[in-house]
Amino acid sequence: MKFYIKSLGCKTNQLEGQIITQSLEKAGFIETKNKNEADICIINSCTVTAHSDNQVSYLLKQIKRDNKKTKLVLTGCTAQNAKEGDFPEADLILGNREKLNIEKYIEFIFKENRKIFADDIFAQKKYFGKMLYKTTSTRPSLKIQDGCDNRCTYCLIPFARGNSRSETVDKIIEQVQIYKDEGKKEIVLTGIHIGQWGREFNLKLIHLLKEIEKTDILRYRLGSLYVNEIDDELFDFLVSSKKFCPHFHLSLQSLCDKTLGNMGRTYTKKEACDMILKIKSAFDLPFIGCDIITGFPDENENDFIETKNALEKCRVSYIHSFPYSKRTGTLAAKMQGQIPMHVKKNRTKELMALCNTLHKEFLSANENKQRTIIYEKMGKNGAYQGVSENYIKVYKKSDKNLQNTVEKVILSEFDELH
């Protein structure tokens, strides 16, 4: 039987999609990239915004319309929160724990007696994961943690992922070695909230990173962090590291204390700005990206301008901005002062324009610097995409196969930087 899989959302979900593929292929199924010829179509969903859920619903209907004979499996975060009667097009709904054992549930798509398998995610006290033994990714993700102990007022993800649970150091190092043996040179540590890794072991992220430093992997990068999770010990370690890529993705969401308080965040504007400036002073032109939600309930124009001005003053490298999405079941959905969508979109456009300016400034500052590039697969333009340690993308045409090769370059030699 042939299966098609579409994974939406974050790096963690993308990685889990690869594990689903690995499990099904081991069980004798054949992957196809053409959903119209698949016997089984799997949507590995994301529920971070209302748009994400709408995308899931649209895909299910589209696939069923174009391939009436296929069996539809919905899994991932949207599936974890699904109730009886939701998503009638789906023949089988699997929660986030169940999807990693998908081969054990496939038989139920041919039965009528039970449709949803999604155990209480908060009952999961221990981390559950599987090794990925083969990946086409040049810079593969490595999941170190699942779930989140925070309860931000706008976020549904803890209800889809549960409380924070950490993979053991030994298992993580085993996966690092698998990637190394496969010839990988860079890994990306990912999870739902990696700054909470190790809590149940009375460990902190730095303990894991010290073990990764001992391996033969060339370099690694970190997923999203809160600014107050980068304590002095971790900061000094990252500065002195020979393997850490100076690429920070900071989960900010706002730089206005009133809005941060309404969001239930655990740091202040000053703490965030001080950390950004500290990073910039200690590293050689580090990439500093951040997430910003626009139009959070009760965010007036002055609040938004405060955030915008702070971002401009800090000169971050990149801003991922998006409108606040009202999620039923969260505290923020019940708050007074909901912002009209056109206002949220206009604020997002303003931050996108600022991002464009700041990112060009960052690239310009790097133009004559020497960087170490890892080349990935060839793109549609006939050039190999390469990525520097501080997350600058370059493109190089070559008659040789450059994929997974490493080269020190002067960035001014490239016509195009991204």
Q: What are phi and psi of 180, to 5 degrees?
A: -60, -45
Decide: 316 and 290 in contact? Cβ < 8 Å. yes
Where does residue 93 fall: left (phi above 0), alpha (psi -120 to 50 degrees), or beta otherwise? beta
Q: Is the pTM of this model over 0.85?
A: yes
Q: What's the one-letter identity of residue 62?
A: Q
Tokens 């000094």, located at residue: 236
Strand 145-146 to 141-143 pairing: unpaired
Q: Two tokens at 188?
A: 């990306």
Strand 406-410 to 370-378 pairing: antiparallel
d(CA 71, CA 279): 50
- Res 301: pLDDT: 98
DSSP reduced 3-state for 259: helix
Tokens 């900071």, located at residue: 250
Q: Two tokens at 111?
A: 């039965």
- Res 85: pLDDT: 87
Tokens 């001005």, located at residue: 309
Strand 384-387 to 393-396 pairing: antiparallel
- Mean pLDDT of successive 10-residue stretches along the chain, which has 418 residues: 96 96 96 96 94 93 94 96 90 95 92 85 95 96 98 96 98 98 98 97 98 98 97 98 97 98 97 98 98 98 98 98 95 97 98 97 94 91 93 93 95 70
Q: What's the one-letter identity of residue 304?
A: F
Q: What is the DSSP string of 51-117?
A: HHHHHHHHHHHHHHHH-TTPEEEEEEHHHHT--TTS-TT-SEEE-TTGGGGGGGTGGGGG-SS--EE
pLDDT digit string, tens, across residues 298-348: 999 999 999 999 999 999 999 999 999 999 999 999 999 999 999 999 999
- Res 112: pLDDT: 73
